[in-house]
Amino acid sequence: MYCSKCGKENNNSDNYCKYCGEKLQSNINKVESNFANNLHKDKLIIKQNPNGNTTYIVGTLIFVLIGLWILLMGYEIFSSSILNFIIKLAALADVMFFGYCMLFYIKRNQENKDLVIVDKNGITDNSSVISVGFIPWEDINEIYINSILSNKFILVKLKNEDKYLNKSSFFKQKAMLENRKMGYEIIDITLNSTGVQPEKFLQEILEYRESIEIKQ
């Protein structure tokens, strides 16, 4: 059993992490080292963390309010009208983007969808604003870990990116293309709000996929 706080391995019988003292039973999304011991056995599931959702909603709301304050304030920040126009434009983009994100997290919280589901058909990703939902195994070329702005993500390398770009909304397309410009994949699974270690869950996904290929 891996501790969700420090990421170190403990015995399955341990109640508290022997390295940092974290209570192991309190891990909301505990992933066992052997996927066959998973609660659903035929699939791997990462569920929502209500506290994590609330944090994202509050965070995006703050950015929306900042953008609205800049747009609606009665005085200019700079003496240059061009700079003030650029600031207003950036604030409008801020309100649109973070407003979209906030609505996404509110909707996700209400629907209470599982964030990630791995089953015999593929991966269903609902973990972020740019998630595309179901991705069949045959569309996946590689799955690996990488860091984006110091946060670790599970990146999914697709065989045909355009297939998923074309069916995504305008905002999703722009965000996915920005990921690609920075050298990342257009699909990234985030577990930041769940307490699950990305490296550990990636191991589970790879083991699960291997077991399916063996059965076939």
Sheet holding 133-136, edge to edge: 44-46, 116-119, 122-125, 133-136
**DSSP 8-state secondary structure symbol assigned to residue 53:** H
The pLDDT value recorded for residue 29 is: 43
Q: Which two tokens stand for residue 182?
A: 């920075």
Q: Is the pLDDT of residue 106 over 90?
A: no
pTM over 0.75: no
- Domain boundaries, given as residue ranges, for the chain: 52-111, 114-215
Confidence of residue 74 (pLDDT cuts 50, 70, 90): low
Lowest mean pLDDT among 27-36, 79-88, 172-181, 200-209: 27-36
Q: What is the pLDDT of residues 164-199, one digit of tens each?
A: 999 888 888 888 898 888 888 999 998 887 878 888
Question: Do the bridges between strand 140-148 and strand 151-158 make them parallel or antiparallel, or are there none, so unpaired?
Answer: antiparallel
